[in-house]
């Protein structure tokens, strides 16, 4: 592999202690947290145990958007079920809008004008009439978390409580990473108080929302309604429940056609969208949605949405956008949504929901169940495909597999970026995502902004979040697939992991155990090297000698591991007659020393040797990977073959 960002510095390649997480990241979670069990809840095989449990939260939300203020007011009723074996005397609720309060932890952590900053906006929740089972409760607010003490303890193994809250907040302008508005277009998320997760690993998960780390939420059913100005069209998570109240008969007919058509159908045409904006209607209109077995909902509204739809396998794929602001590329938004959902369904796990929606707006890219926000585009369809592909990839991680994004970005963004490589290479044959992924990781190495993958996202240097949360884990996954386990076995193992943890809450240890058990490999060295340290792979050739004994020629290849990272070795030998031969050595050759003399039986005079015949092995120093007149490497090609 050619070094993509220049030769890494000596400091970057210097050997380090193998397990030095605490030095690299003082806020790193402990091994006890990362590897719970095995026990009755989480088995040694990496699958949920026979007594696995998780809490349930069902929601009814009623909200009204006042575009004049602009402010959202509403109420939420949460029907919470305690499936744990523990008696609960209090509960915790996420109140993420408090990020926008002066003095919030998040406002102090990131610059105001950054993607995760509050951008000088003063907001936060106004909460009132907070009740549990009908009785008023005084909430205890801790930044973006709220504790409610219960008058009566919540019994284990099925105890239920009903929590009701009235809330309101101002909507920020121009987007603030997760939500916002642009003139008359609103994208609304993190908009209602949401139950924090209580699990068997940490109890209450009370990590605050600081802006960069995302979510960890309980699954349940949602019924929600939003009242907006009468001329608005609303797109949202779930299925529209009252089309007869908000759509014309012609729009309902078109929607019915799209639900069984592989071609794109215009539900609201450009002419109709333009006319709606110039002729605002008086009064308000209420849109009602229902979403089943999800952990969140979000929505968007505008008076001049164009609305396109198509379908695949009974799944409605939709695009909502303002034209020409969103760009001509968005005329392919519905098709790109359909294509992405089909691709991941066929490759990894069937999409379990009835619809998937993409909305163009001021939020650059954000995901929620059945609903994603995507930036504006231009005339080139590829200007939006990468983001549509990425955001809908999140429907698998973390919407289906509900990992803890607040702690482990790699289980969310990293897994999703790994999925994206398959779809991108299928969409654009001949192009590989790998080089760009590796280049981004290389930037973090050379700029010394690396953190271990186990670092919580809010503790990662913001300039390196793309590298450490997204691209490095994708490269690591592709490396594990292609060069350690093998594509067929890894694909089987990864699909089994998704199936086992669909709609559940896996930990890193569950993933590690699941892959090891399914693939039949002890991968402790791999997890330690690539997840718990910031070290990089650098194995080189010190020299080559040959000897003949009893008519047999042997080559001794002196290998040198320059860092703490071991790796199975692949060699390509060049002979004087112009032929080549490949050899493989197991990772165990590094068990006793950082030097190993590989003695191999060869069929002639060796004139050259090359490490890594496949150029997609992420060895960071190509200058020591060859000896003599090395044979050619394999031509670059797709890494997802």
Domain ranges in the chain are: 17-50+415-531, 53-196, 235-385, 539-628
The CATH number of the domain covering residues in 539-628: 2.60.40.10
Residue 538 neighbours by CB distance under 10 Å: 25
Residue labelled with tokens 């040959």 = 546
CATH class of the domain whose range is 17-50+415-531: mainly alpha
Could you tell me the maximum CA-CA distance found in the chain, to the nearest angstrom? 98
Collapsing DSSP states into helix, strand and coil, what is residue 494?
helix
What average pLDDT does the chain have?
Answer: 92
- By DSSP bridging, strand 355-360 and strand 371-374 are parallel
What is the pLDDT confidence band of residue 112, given thresholds at 50, 70 and 90? low
What is the pLDDT confidence band of residue 116, given thresholds at 50, 70 and 90? low
Stretch 556-567: mean pLDDT, rounded?
A: 96
Stretch 555-571: mean pLDDT, rounded?
A: 97
> Half-sphere exposure (CA, 13 Å, Cβ side) for 183?
8
d(CA 410, CA 58): 28
Pick from 493, 514, 619: which is nearest to 567 by CA? 619
Pick from 250, 238, 342, 257: which is nearest to 295 by CA? 238
Residue 279 neighbours by CB distance under 10 Å: 9
Read off the tokens for 586: 């197991």
Stretch 56-69: mean pLDDT, rounded?
A: 98
- Element spanning 527, H or E: helix 524-531
Assess whether pLDDT exceeds 80 at residue 24: no
Crossing angle, helix 524-531 and helix 472-480, to 10 degrees?
160
Assess whether pLDDT exceeds 70 at residue 176: no
Contacts of 322 (CB under 8 A, 6+ apart): 185, 273, 302, 304, 305, 306, 360
Same fold for the pair 17-50+415-531 and 53-196: no
Omega of the bond prior to 38 within 30 degrees of 0, cis?
yes
As a whole-number percent, the residues of the chain with pLDDT over 90 amount to: 82
Assess whether pLDDT exceeds 80 at residue 410: yes
CA 55, 416, 370: angle at the middle one, nearest 5?
60
Read off the tokens for 96: 């993420």
Assess whether pLDDT exceeds 60 at residue 15: no
Pick from 405, 311, 304: which is nearest to 357 by CA? 311
Residues in the chain: 641
pLDDT at residue 182, rounded to an integer: 93
Read off the tokens for 544: 């080559």
Omega of the bond prior to 70 within 30 degrees of 0, cis?
yes
pLDDT at residue 114, rounded to an integer: 60
pLDDT at residue 12, rounded to an integer: 42
Pick from 473, 416, 472: which is nearest to 445 by CA? 472
- CATH entry 2.60.40 includes domain 53-196: yes
CB 306 within 8 A of CB 268: yes
CB 207 within 8 A of CB 213: yes
pLDDT at residue 290, rounded to an integer: 98
Collapsing DSSP states into helix, strand and coil, what is residue 370?
coil
pLDDT at residue 1, rounded to an integer: 36
Beta strands in 117-219 (DSSP E): 126-132, 135-136, 140-142, 145-154, 159-170, 180-182, 185-188, 194-195, 198-199, 203-204
Crossing angle, helix 413-427 and helix 333-347, to 10 degrees?
110
pLDDT at residue 637, rounded to an integer: 82
pLDDT at residue 86, rounded to an integer: 98
pLDDT at residue 177, rounded to an integer: 67
Collapsing DSSP states into helix, strand and coil, what is residue 235?
strand
CB 336 within 8 A of CB 385: yes
Name which of 110-119, 183-192, 591-600 the model is least confident about. 110-119
């Amino acid at each position: 592999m050619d070094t993509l960002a220049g030769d890494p510095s000596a400091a970057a390649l210097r050997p380090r202690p193998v397990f030095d997480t605490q030095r690299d990241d003082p806020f790193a979670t402990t091994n006890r947290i990362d590897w719970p069990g095995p026990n009755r809840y989480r088995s040694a095989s990496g699958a949920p145990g026979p007594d696995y449990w998780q809490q349930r939260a069902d929601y009814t939300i009623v909200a009204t958007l006042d575009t004049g203020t602009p402010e959202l007011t509403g109420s939420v009723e949460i029907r919470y079920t305690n499936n744990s074996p523990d008696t609960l005397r209090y509960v915790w609720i996420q109140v993420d809008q408090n990020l926008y309060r002066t003095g919030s932890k998040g406002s102090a952590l990131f610059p105001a004008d950054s993607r995760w900053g509050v951008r000088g906006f003063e907001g936060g929740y106004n909460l009132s009439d907070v009740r549990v089972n009908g009785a008023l409760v005084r909430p205890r607010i801790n930044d973006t978390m709220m504790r409610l003490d219960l008058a009566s303890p919540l019994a284990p193994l099925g105890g239920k409580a009903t929590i009701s809250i009235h809330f309101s907040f101002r909507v920020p302008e121009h987007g603030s990473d997760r939500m916002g508005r642009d003139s008359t277009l609103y994208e609304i998320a993190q908009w209602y108080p949401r139950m924090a997760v209580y699990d068997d690993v940490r109890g209450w998960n009370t990590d605050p929302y600081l802006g960069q780390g995302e979510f960890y939420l309980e699954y349940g059913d949602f019924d929600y309604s939003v009242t907006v100005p009468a001329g608005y069209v609303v797109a949202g998570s779930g299925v529209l429940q009252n089309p007869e109240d908000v759509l014309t008969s012609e729009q309902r007919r078109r929607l019915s056609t799209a639900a069984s058509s592989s071609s794109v159908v215009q539900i609201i045409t450009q002419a109709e969208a333009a006319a709606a904006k110039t002729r605002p209607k008086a009064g308000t209109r209420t849109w009602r949605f229902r979403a089943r077995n999800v952990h969140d909902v979000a929505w968007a509204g505008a008076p001049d949405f164009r609305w396109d739809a198509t379908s695949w396998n009974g799944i409605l794929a939709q695009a909502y956008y303002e034209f020409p602001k969103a760009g001509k590329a968005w005329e392919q938004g519905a098709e790109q949504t359909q294509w992405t959902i089909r691709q991941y369904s066929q490759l990894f796990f069937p999409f379990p929901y009835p619809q998937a929606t993409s909305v163009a707006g001021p939020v650059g890219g954000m995901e929620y169940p059945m609903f994603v926000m995507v930036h504006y585009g231009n005339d080139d369809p590829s200007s939006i495909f990468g983001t549509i592909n990425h955001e809908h990839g999140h429907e698998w991680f973390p919407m289906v597999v509900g990992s803890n994004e607040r702690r482990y970005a790699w289980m969310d963004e990293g897994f999703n970026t790994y999925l994206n490589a398959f779809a991108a290479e299928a969409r654009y044959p001949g192009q590989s995502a790998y080089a760009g992924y590796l280049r981004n990781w290389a930037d973090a190495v050379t700029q010394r902004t690396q953190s271990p993958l186990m670092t919580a996202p809010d503790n990662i240097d913001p300039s390196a979040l793309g590298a450490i949360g997204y691209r490095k884990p994708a490269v690591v996954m592709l490396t594990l697939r292609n060069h350690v386990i093998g594509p067929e076995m890894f694909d089987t193992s990864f699909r089994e992991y998704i199936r086992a943890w669909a709609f559940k809450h896996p930990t890193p240890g569950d993933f590690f155990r699941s892959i090891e058990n399914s693939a039949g490999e002890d991968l402790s060295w791999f997890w330690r090297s690539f997840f718990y340290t910031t070290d990089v792979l650098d194995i080189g050739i010190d020299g080559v000698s040959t000897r003949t004994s009893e008519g047999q020629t042997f080559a001794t290849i002196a290998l040198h591991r320059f860092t703490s990272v071991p790796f199975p070795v692949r060699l390509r030998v060049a002979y004087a007659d112009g032929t080549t031969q490949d050899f493989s050595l197991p990772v165990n050759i590094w068990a006793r020393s950082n030097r190993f003399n590989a003695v191999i039986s060869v069929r002639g005079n060796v004139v050259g040797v090359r490490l890594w015949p496949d150029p997609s092995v992420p060895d960071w120093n190509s200058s020591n990977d060859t000896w003599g007149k090395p044979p050619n490497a394999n031509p670059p090609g797709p890494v997802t073959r």
